[in-house]
Amino acid sequence: MAKPELNLLSCAFSEFTKASDSLMTYYHSLETQIRQLKEQVEEKNNQLEKARKYLHTILDSLPVGVVVLEKGPEPVFSNKNAKKLNGAGFIDSLKSSGETFGELKNRTGCFRWRREALNNGFEGREVVVFEDVTQMEKMKERLERDERLRAMGEMAARIAHEIKNPLGSMELFLSMLQQSKLRKVDRKYVDYILFGVKAIDRVINNILSYTRPKTLVLQEERLADLVNDTVQFMKVSIKSRDISTRVETFHERPFVFDPDLMKLVMMNLFANAMDAIDEKGCITIAIKEDRGYVVVSVCDDGVGMTEEVRKSLFNPFFTTKDKGLGLGLFIVYNIVKAHGGYIEVESQPNTGSMFLIYLPEKRI
C-alpha cells in the first residue's frame, strides 16, 4: 500500500478510535444518567407509595366512612369504616337518592351522610362521607325519655295524690254503709263500689310508690343468682306452654344493687316476653359486662313491636294488652334509673324484642 494511503487509513483509524471513545464516554454518561433517573423514579415511587399509605392510614383512622363513587356499581374507594358499614347496603340506597345530605336508618343503626362532587381533574366522581350516629341517637332518645317520664311521673304523682284523699273518704263512708242495715241488693251494690274503690286505690298506690324517688335497699350479690332464681320461679307459669328458657352468664362478680327491686325488674321483663310469644318460642337472658356496666339482656322471639310502640313503651299506662295496666315497664324504668342505670330496647315486628338493662358495677 502506498504511503499516502497508509497515512489516510491511520488517520481514519485514529478518528474512528476517537469517535468510538467519545461514544463510549457518551454511552457511560447516558448509562449513569439513566441509572440516576431510575433511582429518582424509584425514590419518587417510594415517596408516592408512602404518601398513598399515609393518606389511607389517615382515611382509615377517621371515625367516619369515606367512599368515592363513579358510574359503576362498586365504589372506587372505601375506607375501613365505610367497608364496615357498607354491609348494610348503605351505598346502594344512597345511589338511588338524589339528595346531597341526609339521615338513614336501618337495622344496623342510624347514619348521617353528605356527598360532594369532585373536581380538579376528577370530574364524574363524588365523595360520600357518612357517620354512624347510632350511639348518639340512642343517647338522645334516652335523654328525651328521661325528661318525658320525669314530667309524666310528676303529673301522675300529683293527680294520684289529689285522688287519694277523696278516695280514702269514699272507702271510709262505704265501710260505714256496709256495716249499717241494708237491703241485700243495696249491700251488693256497696260491695261492688268498694271493690272498685279498692282497685283504684291499688293503682294509685302503685303510681305513688313508683314515681317517688326510690330508696334502695342495697346488698352485694351475684346478679346471675337472682336472675336464675327469678327464671325458675317464673317458669312455673309457662309449664303448659311451649316456651323454652336459657340463661347465659358471662358476669359472675357480686356487685351492689337492690335484690328485691331487681327481682321485680326481671319478673316484669320476663312476663312481657312470655306475653309476646304466641305459641312456641324462646326467652334468652344473658348477663354480661360492658364498659363498667353489668348488662342483663332479656330477649324473646315473640311478636316484636313497631317503632311507634317502642317509643311509648315506658310511658305510664301505655299498653297494647286487653288486661294490661301499662305500668310494668314504667316500674322497671324507675327502678333501673334509681340504680343509676339505663335501658335500651331493640325490636322488630314479627321478629322479637331485646331489652337491655345497664347497671353501673361501681356505685359513685
**Which positions touch ligand ATP (CB under 6 A)?**
268, 272-273, 276, 300, 302-305, 309, 313, 318-321, 324-330, 353
Q: Tell the smallest beta-carbon distance from residue 330 to ligand ATP (Å).
A: 6
- What is the rounded end-to-end Cα distance, in angstroms, of the chain? 117
**In this chain, which residue has its C-beta nearest to Mg ion?**
328
Q: Which does 305 bind (CB under 5 to 8 A by kind): Mg ion, ligand ATP, none?
A: ligand ATP
Nearest distance from C-beta of residue 320 to Mg ion, angstroms: 10
Q: Are 65 and 78 in contact (CB under 8 A)?
A: yes
φ and ψ at residue 219, rounded to 5 degrees: -145, 155
Ranges of beta strands (E only) in the chain are 65-69, 77-78, 101-106, 109-117, 126-132, 219-221, 242-249, 255-257, 280-290, 293-300, 342-348, 352-360
The reply to whether 328 sits near Mg ion by the rule CB under 5 A is yes
Nearer to ligand ATP, 273 or 294 (CB): 273
Residues written for the chain: 364
Q: Which of residues 257-286 bind Mg ion (CB under 5 A)?
A: 272
The least CB distance from residue 145 to ligand ATP, in Å, is 13
For Mg ion, the binding residues in 12-51 under the rule CB under 5 A are none
What's the grid cell of residue 53?
399509605
Q: Which is nearer to ligand ATP, 110 or 203 (CB)?
A: 203
230 sits near Mg ion (criterion: CB under 5 A): no
Q: How far is the CB of 328 from Mg ion (least distance, A)?
A: 3
Q: Which does 300 bind (CB under 5 to 8 A by kind): ligand ATP, Mg ion, none?
A: ligand ATP
Element (H, E) at 5: helix 3-61
**How many angstroms from the chain centroid is the CA of residue 303?**
21
Q: What is the dihedral of CA 236, 239, 245, 249, to 10 degrees?
A: 30
Please, what is the minimum distance in Å from the beta carbon of residue 333 to ligand ATP? 9
Residue ranges in contact with Mg ion by CB under 5 A: 272, 328
